[in-house]
Structure 1
Amino acid sequence: MHFEHLIEINDLADPMVPNLTRDEVWFGLLCRAEDPRPFLPGLEACEILSREETALTRKLDFGQVVIHDTVRWEPLQWISFESHANEEHPAGLLTITIEHPEPETHAIFLRFAYRTGLSETVGEDAKYAEFIRSAYHQSDVDTVRVIRMIAESTQTD
């Protein structure tokens, strides 16, 4: 299954919602790599197994299920999360790209692109794929909410 969508970060029509900068959004995405617990409900622990300049490997403990993944990134551009298949969990890839179409404005979008081995075209698989797309979208909305909370908590007056 391939699924992607955009989420607008700054609501330019609503001055009551503080605008985030590209740096603030990027910092939030790095927080998701370093400690994904606020972003992933049910995650009990995250252990960083290895670290490089633009990558790390992690062990994610969800209690009954443990997932190993690799996180890679291009600073201020994109970050990807590639989970490795095991008996309880299929492999998958999520890439989040920061899109800033007009640098002179505050318009910033996050493009979430998913790739999984799930079929989208056959009977029950198609219904399940629709459920998964909906869950991914809600998780991504929650990711933006957490990024906003992180940005608010790190702002200095």
Structure 2
Amino acid sequence: MHFEHLVEINDFRIPLLFRLDRAQVWAGLMHRVEDARPFLPGLDECRIMARGEGTLERVLRFGATEVRDRVSYAVGDWVRFETTPSEHHGGGVLIISIEEPETDSLFLRFRYETLFASGHEAEDAAYGEFLRQAYEAADIDTVQVIRMLAETADRPARH
């Protein structure tokens, strides 16, 4: 299943909204790469197994279930998460890219390639719609976590 959508970062219709710049959005995406726990409910551990130039390999532990993925990225532009198929996960790819059609107008584009097939077209269509809705909700939450991280980092320390 292929699915993609945009999530707006700076909605100018909300005047009091804390505005994020591209660097803050990128920092949030890299936080998701380094420690995905705030972004993935139920994630108990995010362990980096190997690092390379623009890549890393991780093990994500949800209770007793471990999921392995490979992350690659182009600094300031996009992140690609490629999940290895296993008995607990069908595998797939998520690419998150930053889009800035005009100054301060920031969006994240989420592109999914998910593997599943029950062999029944109607069941696959219903399941696909369920996944689309779940992905959209999770991606909106991702932007909220990035916003929270940026706002926290922007606050002056209290003494």
**Residue 87 of structure 1: aligned partner:** 87
Unpaired stretches in structure 1, ≥5 consecutive residues: none
For residues 33-63 of structure 1, the C-alpha deviation after alignment (integer angstroms, 9 at most, x for no partner) is 0000000001011110001131100000001
Confirm whether residue 145 of structure 1 aligns to residue 133 of structure 2. Answer: no
Is the counterpart of residue 134 in structure 1 residue 133 in structure 2? yes
**Structure 2 counterpart of 1:115:** 113
> 1:92 offset after TM fit, Å?
0.5
- Structure 1 window deviating more from structure 2 (113-122 vs 23-32): it is 113-122
**How many matched pairs?**
155
Contact 1:12 1:106 in 2 (8 A): no
Amino acid at match of 2:126: K
Q: Distance in 1 between matches of 2:139 and 2:123?
A: 24
Partner of 1:35: 35
Find out whether 1:98 has 2:98 as its counterpart: yes
SS of the residue corresponding to residue 101 of structure 1 reads strand
Verify the 8 A CA contact 2:18 2:151 in the aligned structure 1. no
How much does 1:91 deviate? 1.0
Bigger Cα displacement from structure 2, 120-129 vs 20-29: 120-129
User: Structure 2: where are the runs of 5+ without partners?
Assistant: none
Q: Does 1:55 align with 2:55?
A: yes
CA distance in 2 between counterparts of 1:44 and 1:72 reads 22
* Separation (CA, whole Å) in 2 of partners of 1:139 and 1:71: 18
2:18 corresponds to: 18
Distance 1:117 1:150 in 2: 32
State the match for 2:44 in structure 1: 44
- How far did 1:12 drift? 1.2
> Retained in 2: the 8 A contact 1:77–1:97?
yes
Q: Deviation per CA, 1:6-39, whole angstroms, max 9, x where unpaired?
A: 0000011221101100000000000000000000
Alpha-carbon distance between aligned partners in 2 of 1:87 and 1:119, rounded to the nearest angstrom: 14
Q: Which runs of 4+ in 1 moved over 3 A?
A: none
8 Å Cα contact 1:119-1:126 kept in structure 2: no
- Matched letter for residue 98 of structure 1: I
**Secondary structure at 1:41 match in 2:** coil
* C-alpha contact 1:119 1:129 (8 A) present in aligned 2: no
User: Would you say the 8 A contact 1:2–1:114 is kept in 2?
Assistant: yes
Q: In 1, distance between residues paired with 2:98 and 2:71? A: 16
Q: TM-score, normalised by structure 1?
A: 0.95
